Chain A
């Protein structure tokens, strides 16, 4: 009875993890922006670690645990490298959903941080761009933001 329950739960976990792989890979393909894709890759690494653990239980080889730890290290380093790359590259695609601010400012940010010589200059430029943004825009934008949650609740 117990070992059959363990086999059953291993099958269920493999099924769920396969569905997770499928959903996440489609998110990597479709994801509208680069951070979405990086985040989906991060989740893919987490799912692969879980998959390795399930395989370790199913086959009885505990050597899979070392593979899982190494995979976690590689995934962490990959995410950090991708974050640095996003910071150096700048925003090149429009953000989906309701944009609070007009897209003119976003385009200005893109053109300004298009060719950053260093990472810190790019971040400084964007931050100064934020501070130099006119105030009435933010006030206009903040009024519908405060009304939407009240209307929901």
Chain B
């Protein structure tokens, strides 16, 4: 019974994670500039891969596997904002422009 429930939960987590990653890739094409594309790729991509790792943890049901999967998810959740922040900072410092529809640019010097 528990195994059947774990299978169903793992399947749902897998589908949800795959949909998130696919939507991140679609957002990479649809969004106008690098800074808004970063929202899709960094947040939705990390969430998708994290959900799929949690699905692996639920499916395995083993303590070592589960702890490693949780450690991996925590690691990705820690490193993805850092890399995205570094990339955005580098792109802005070098001079890549925001799109024309942007409402506010708080980093612009007065």
Contacts and interface: CB of A to CB of B under 8 A. Distances in A.
A53 B97 contact: no
Contacts of B91: 35, 86
A91 B90 contact: no
A68 to B, nearest CB: 6
Contacts of A134: none
Interface residues of B, number: 69
A113 B94 contact: yes
B106 interface: no
Interface in B1-46: 3-5, 7-8, 10-12, 14-15, 17-19, 21-22, 24-26, 28-29, 32-34, 37-38, 41-42, 45-46
Contact of B90 (A75, A86, A95): A86
Contacts of B79: 72-73, 76
Given A39-B34, A79-B83, A109 B95 contact: yes
Contacts of A136: none
A107 to B, nearest CB: 10
B53 A149 contact: no
Interface string B48-92: 110011011001101001001101100110011011101101110
Interface in A20-73: 20, 23-24, 27, 33, 35-36, 38-40, 42-43, 46-47, 49-50, 53-54, 56-57, 62, 64-66, 68-69, 72-73
Interface of A: 1-3, 5-6, 8-10, 12-17, 19-20, 23-24, 27, 33, 35-36, 38-40, 42-43, 46-47, 49-50, 53-54, 56-57, 62, 64-66, 68-69, 72-73, 75-76, 79-80, 82-84, 86-87, 89-91, 95-101, 106, 109-110, 113, 122-123, 126-127, 130-131, 133, 138, 144-146, 148-149
Interface of B: 3-5, 7-8, 10-12, 14-15, 17-19, 21-22, 24-26, 28-29, 32-34, 37-38, 41-42, 45-46, 48-49, 52-53, 55-56, 59-60, 62, 65, 68-69, 71-72, 75-76, 79-80, 82-84, 86-87, 89-91, 93-103, 108-110
